[in-house]
Amino acid sequence: MGDNRLIQFYNCRILRDHQIIDEHIWIRDGKFVNPEKVFFDERKVADVQIDCKGKLIAPGFIDIQINGGFGVDFSHDIDSVDKNVGIVARGILAHGVTSFCPTVVTSEPQVYRKVLFKLRKSQGGKHGATVLGAHVEGPFISPEKKGAHLLSSIVTFDKGFDSILEIYGNLSSIAIITLAPELPHSMEVIDRLVSEGITVSIGHSSADINIAEQAVSHGASLITHLFNAMLPFHHRDPGIIGLLSSDHIDSSKVYYGIIADGVHTHPSALRIAYSTHPKGLIIVTDAISALGLDEGTHFLGEKKIEVKNNCAYIAGTSTLCGSITPFNACVQFFMRSTRCSLVEALEVSSLHPAKALGIEHSKGTLNFGSDADFVILDDDLNVYSTWIAGDCVYSASERKS
């Protein structure tokens, strides 16, 4: 970051323009640069050369829904938000994640106001992955589809857009809002949120296909963890799931998160979603505080959760409440389940979330001029090192030593 040296990565394969090619990567000042201009205009050679030993270079992974990890819950310990974000931001570097949206589940207004103030966007580095802004998942959701969310904290848009301001306060740190579009006044709220540059996601909802299509026509462009916390697919009313192939809206503009951890979504469901609308699919972890921890009792917001047999449940129940699977493991499971190409597995983890947030010109690609955030992998998607703005922020070999 701020490093004016010209760095060359060679003996590597890279993902660019939807294909994997044999090509070098050049970086300066934290950005990917076009070597032709360097050679012919500046007549410079690399200051530093790094041998990748035949490995694959791909854009850094982007997780747009993660509730916490490594003992941290963004919705729970609200007096230690700065510290907690740092713990998660550092921990997910080992999973190839270079950017993320810290997610706050349905909570009381005082929680949002205190937490969101400290979840403001920040540039990543050795201290951890880049914070792209918060994903507020609730409290404007359906009580019938609350999942693990606290029923007593769920509210409606009784004051229209003013309800949003009363709950969250300042919106400047918010990147994504998940809401149920069947709530009264939802459409006017969606209009305003989109005009504020916030990505509106449909989720924790009992909406039918007509309401879902109406929400998209007003600017909603994302679906929160497809299949989970929504009406099941029905042949006469496919509900929100029907957005993937609707002929009343432009489905190509609809993105959807999916938890590919082998628990929340069956491999067959992954294949159906992927084959129906591959360009909209986004891998998310929906990870909770127990990510990276042993089995036992932890917290998700104000609720106790129990981890057993590699699954997380609301304590004393059989209700799933988030994942504990690392991001790169989700990508591996997705690739095995769908039998998609390596290119496609990498793009649902980087390019697609960047597009959903409207930041594809700076994140999610290796294009010239974009941020030099990338991960070095093998073909089985094992992470060897993670880089942000051209700096190595995680190395598997250093961790082992």
Cβ neighbours of 60 (radius 10 Å): 27
pTM: 0.94
pLDDT band for position 116 (50/70/90)? Answer: very high
Domain 7-58+365-400 fold: Urease, subunit C; domain 1 (2.30.40)
- Separation of alpha carbons 142 and 231, rounded Å: 11
Domain 60-357 fold: TIM Barrel (3.20.20)
Tell whether the model's pLDDT for residue 1 goes beyond 60. Answer: no
Tell whether the model's pLDDT for residue 381 goes beyond 90. Answer: yes
Tell whether the model's pLDDT for residue 66 goes beyond 50. Answer: yes
Catalytic site residue from 63, 286, 371, 373:
286
Amino acid at 340: C
Higher pLDDT, 304 or 106: 106
> Could you check whether 7-58+365-400 and 60-357 share the same CATH topology?
no
* Residues 121/125/128/134 CA torsion (nearest 10 deg): 10
pLDDT band for position 301 (50/70/90)? Answer: low
Task: Using a pLDDT cut of 90, give the percent of the chain over it.
Answer: 78
- Separation of alpha carbons 46 and 24, rounded Å: 11
Tell whether the model's pLDDT for residue 2 goes beyond 60. Answer: no
Mean pLDDT of 38-66: 91
Quote the pLDDT of residue 400.
58
Average pLDDT of the chain is: 93
Angle at CA 118, nearest 5°, toward 307 and 136? Answer: 55
Q: Where are the domains of the chain?
A: 7-58+365-400, 60-357
- Which range, of 18-22, 26-30, 294-298, averages the lowest pLDDT? 294-298
Tell whether the model's pLDDT for residue 401 goes beyond 50. Answer: no
Question: Is residue 250 annotated as a catalytic residue, yes or no?
Answer: no
Contacts of 76 by beta carbon, 8 Å cutoff, 6+ apart: 68, 289, 299, 300, 301, 302
Please report which helix (H) or strand (E) contains residue 59, including its range. strand 56-59
pLDDT band for position 399 (50/70/90)? Answer: low
